[in-house]
Amino acid sequence: MNMNYSLTTLRFIRYAVAYVFITSGVMKLFSVELAQVFIGLGLPFPDLLLHVTAYLEMICGILILLNRSVKHAVIPLIGIMIAAILLTKLPLLNSGILPFAFKARLDIVMLVLLFTLYSKSPS
């Protein structure tokens, strides 16, 4: 019974993670405002990185949704989330721990869920 609960919980985690990353990838391609924020981060080749990130999020999100190569699909997403925290959330620490904690909440939760999927998915 506990194993069944675990599989159901893992399935819901997969669905939630897939939803967030597929939506995020699509929005990076179709939202001018979001694209401008991404491009304004000061990264090299911002247009290329925007598209690579968007497609990685969508492709990996779809793989996670379909329960295909989940362990491999979460690895680039973990990298994306770490980069997002370092580039967009860590600077908020200058304003204090509470503003950082509030603005970084989704990023941190997604990172924990990605690590959960990585650790619980078969090789």
CB atoms near residue 21 (< 10 Å): 29
What is the distance of C-alpha 117 from the center of its chain? 12
| pLDDT tens-place string over residues 52-78 | 999 999 999 999 999 999 999 999 999
* pLDDT score at 1: 41
* pLDDT score at 56: 98
pTM for the whole structure: 0.90
| pLDDT tens-place string over residues 18-43 | 999 999 999 999 999 999 999 999 99
Distance CA 80, CA 68 (A): 20
| pLDDT tens-place string over residues 89-111 | 999 999 999 999 999 999 999 99
Q: Which two tokens stand for residue 83?
A: 């980069």
Report the sign of the C-alpha dihedral through residues 7, 8, 13, 19, in that order. Answer: positive
